[in-house]
Amino acid sequence: MSQKAPLPNGYENNYLLLAPRLAQADFGEKALALGFSPAPGGVKINFLGREYLIDKQGVEASDGQPSPANNRSLLIHYLFSPGRGGPGEKYLTLWQVPGYIRGRRNPGDDILNKPLVRAFGQDYALFKKAALTLNGRELGRDKSGREEWLFRVLPKIDMLVRYLPADEEFPVDIQTLFDELAPTYLEFECLAFLNAVLSQTLAELGGCRP
């Protein structure tokens, strides 16, 4: 008896709902406006160290290996983004992004950044190694003693990571922020996912699996 193929999960279903939009995409226009690179029949993009191909049939990783459905969905959202210009020069925490519902617990204290603290703790050298592997740019130390790193997570979206070592009173703190124009490219829910993906990717590069 042949085995049935596994049913798609919620993330895969979301991707399958979005993918038909690609049939109407003007890839030439999108490549110019959003920083995609031209590819036969579509465009390609580097997303956190991995290249993806996007055409009218869908999104897949260039290496031919399976890729997370949420990553593929996020790239479709970005492809159809109305944003222009950017990245900006100022930075926002996720809870400052338009679309965040006031009154919720501060997202900076929840699961989004825990992978970074769990992976690196007081080991800044390990964090630096992971950041360089992901093509992060070291900006130096700010007035508060935080080490700052800039990541071009998408062609028009930058994220800033601030690493503050522990002292006698407080534990290590690692904070992630978006450039001020990121909300013009992606809605809050997509930015929250992007935040999580960057944190998890860095953590995995540091040897910590989520």
User: How high is the mean pLDDT in each 10-residue block of the chain (210 residues)?
Assistant: 51 93 91 90 94 96 94 96 87 82 51 83 92 95 91 96 83 90 93 92 79
**Dihedral pair phi/psi, residue 84, rounded to 5°:** -140, 150
Residue 111 confidence (pLDDT)? 65
Residue 31 lies in a domain: yes
Residue 106 confidence (pLDDT)? 54
Residue 7 confidence (pLDDT)? 45
Nearest to 68 by CA among 208, 193, 152, 206: 193
* Residues 25 and 75 reside in one and the same domain: yes
Alpha-carbon gap, residue 49 to 45, rounded angstroms? 10
**Dihedral pair phi/psi, residue 74, rounded to 5°:** -60, -40
In three-state secondary structure terms, 179 is strand
The tokens of 17 are what? 């709902």
Q: Please, which residues have CB within 8 angstroms of residue 54's CB and are 6 or more apart in sequence?
A: 22, 25, 27, 36, 39, 42, 43, 44, 45, 75, 76, 79
Whether 96 and 188 have beta carbons less than 8 Å apart is answered as no
Residue 3 confidence (pLDDT)? 47
Residues 138, 144, 145, 147, Cα dihedral to 10°: -20
Residue 39 confidence (pLDDT)? 93
* Residues 57 and 105 reside in one and the same domain: no
Angle formed at CA 115 by CA 165 and CA 193, multiple of 5 degrees: 120
Last residue of a domain, one of 28, 45, 79: 79
Last residue of a domain, one of 56, 79, 102: 79
Last residue of a domain, one of 54, 79, 104: 79
- Number of separate domains in the chain: 2
Place of tokens 């996912």: 193
* Residues 33 and 111 reside in one and the same domain: no
* Residues 73 and 98 reside in one and the same domain: no
In three-state secondary structure terms, 196 is helix
Residue 210 lies in a domain: no
* Residues 37 and 101 reside in one and the same domain: no
* Residues 55 and 97 reside in one and the same domain: no
Instruction: Please give the residue range of the domain that contains residue 141.
Output: 91-205
Residue 89 confidence (pLDDT)? 87
